[in-house]
Amino acid sequence: MTVSCSSSASSPSALPSPAPSGGGRPERPCVTELRLSAFAGHRRARFPLGPLTLLAGPSGCGKTTALRAYEALARLGGGAAVGEVFSDPVACVPDRARPDAQRRRGFRIGCTADGPEGPVRLDVAIQVEPQLRIVGERLSTDGLVLLQTALRDPSRRTVQAAWHTAGSAPVTRAPLPDDRLATALLPLRVAGKTDGQRRVLATAEQMVVALRSVFACDPRPGRMRVPVPAGSGRLLGGCGNLADVLWRTRAECARRHTQLVAAVRAGCVGPVTDLFAEPLADGAVQALLDRGDGVRTRLGRLGDGELRYLALALVLFTGPGVLEVDPAGEVPAAMQTLTVLADNLDRALDPRQRTELLGLAARMCDRGHIRLVGAVSDASWAAGVAGVTVVHLDP
């Protein structure tokens, strides 16, 4: 598998980035590169990521695999155990990988997060056989290793961690659990008394904030056609509870709802004057389009492309508070970025819908509070759209 990259940003030599701070660094931490050193069908693969990135290539080239690896890193960054993140870890082991003398096999993934602390690299080695565990982790910046872990005793469910201190001792060593990302645990273990400790804390927090607030979205039209029970009003990845979310968002933010209606009008057939939800006698909620002159159309009557377009537009207009994500609650919203992972982004969309959706995504991503990584089979239709980074994957 080979990877090449092109960008429609104004400066072709550099990827687009969130609004920089006074020092030229992004104010909002964000993932700017995904690395799959050895993961499923990928080896030594690097994916540069801008605010709006399309992974393009034929079926079987690994687009979905890359998105799953990104989501896995995000969940690990949020503190999830490795067993919760990888339900089928054997499928992540590289093709034709052979066990070593100790019958061990695994995979390696990583990423780079840019932000106020500059580019920070995270590389993780995960053993799948004979036991699923994180056996190695490295957090580094500017060539300096700030955190490193290694499995010393396979009989213990811990790894030996060493992090930069730069005090009376150059490093601090301690055992950490082998089922969770050490980077996510550091803020609970480091006191921040020395300059070195404070630097470790700042880079670890930058990585965790960059990885958190990821929403994997693949709208399923079949689930969106029927009324749904009233619930939390937080959109699920399959968007089957879209009616429940519309019931909430229409009342909470009139400005965003007006923008959503305008976007839906541009991507749906026929007139659209409003989009809303109404309760039914059995307590369920159904969504409708107001066509004007008293004519209403249930969402169940819309085509698959219209429903997918509507759901993706809603995702782009909303934030973590409306989506089923796990934001970093201890970090101000103004410092966070929501990253949307959209597999088969253009599935069922006609040329007009995908052009409208891409233009909407480019405008929203340019503001810096949202990023989008989408997978498509062919990205030729995105040529010339400013701010779009296209990563071409070949089998």
Q: Are residues 227 and 207 in the same domain?
A: no
Tokens of 379: 């990205």
Q: Tell whether 154 and 104 lie within a shared domain.
A: yes
For 312-369, the pLDDT digits (tens) are 999 999 877 788 776 555 555 556 789 999 999 999 999 999 999 999 999 999 988 8
Identify whether 374 is part of a domain: no
Q: Which of 322, 352, 370 is the last residue of a domain?
A: 322
**pLDDT top residue among 349 and 188:** 349
Q: Is 180 exposed, middle or buried (0-12, 13-18, 19+ CB in 10 A)?
A: middle
Closest of 53, 55, 148, 38 to residue 98, by C-alpha: 38
pLDDT digits (tens, 9 = 90+) for 111-148: 999 999 999 999 999 999 999 999 999 999 998 999 99
Q: Tell whether 194 and 272 lie within a shared domain.
A: no
Q: What is the pLDDT of residues 189-223, one digit of tens each?
A: 887 778 888 899 999 999 999 998 899 999 999 99
Compute the distance between CA of residue 250 and CA of residue 248 in angstroms, rounded to an integer. 6
Which residues touch 328 (CB under 8 Å, ≥6 apart)? Answer: 208, 209, 212, 213, 336
Give the end of a domain, one of 182, 213, 244: 213
Q: Is the dihedral of CA 358, 327, 45, 143 positive or negative?
A: positive
Contact 254, 268 (CB under 8 A): no
Per-residue confidence (pLDDT) for residue 9, from 0 to 100: 41
* Residue-level pLDDT at 333: 58
Same domain flag for 197 and 51: yes
Looking at the structure, tell me whether residues 135 and 187 fall in a common domain.
yes
Do 209 and 284 fall into the same domain?
no
Which tokens sit at 58?
Answer: 């034929």
Instruction: Please check whether residue 185 lies inside any domain of the structure.
Output: yes
* Domain hosting residue 228, numbered range: 223-322
Claim to verify: residue 231 and residue 115 sit in the same structural domain: no
Q: Looking at the structure, do residues 60 and 193 belong to the same domain, yes or no?
A: yes
Q: Do 207 and 312 sit in the same domain of this protein?
A: no
Residue 301 has pLDDT above 70, yes or no: yes
What does the pLDDT look like over 231-253, one tens digit per residue? 888 999 999 999 999 998 888 88
Does residue 198 sit in the same domain as residue 235?
no
Q: What is the pLDDT of residue 13?
A: 31
What is the percentage of the chain residues whose pLDDT exceeds 70? Answer: 92
Closest CA to 336 of 16, 28, 27: 28
User: Tell me, what's the pLDDT at 12?
Assistant: 29
Q: How many folded domains does the chain comprise?
A: 2
Given 159, 185, 213, which residue is the final one in a domain?
Answer: 213
DSSP state at residue 229: E
pLDDT (0 to 100) of residue 18: 42
Q: Is residue 130 part of a domain?
A: yes
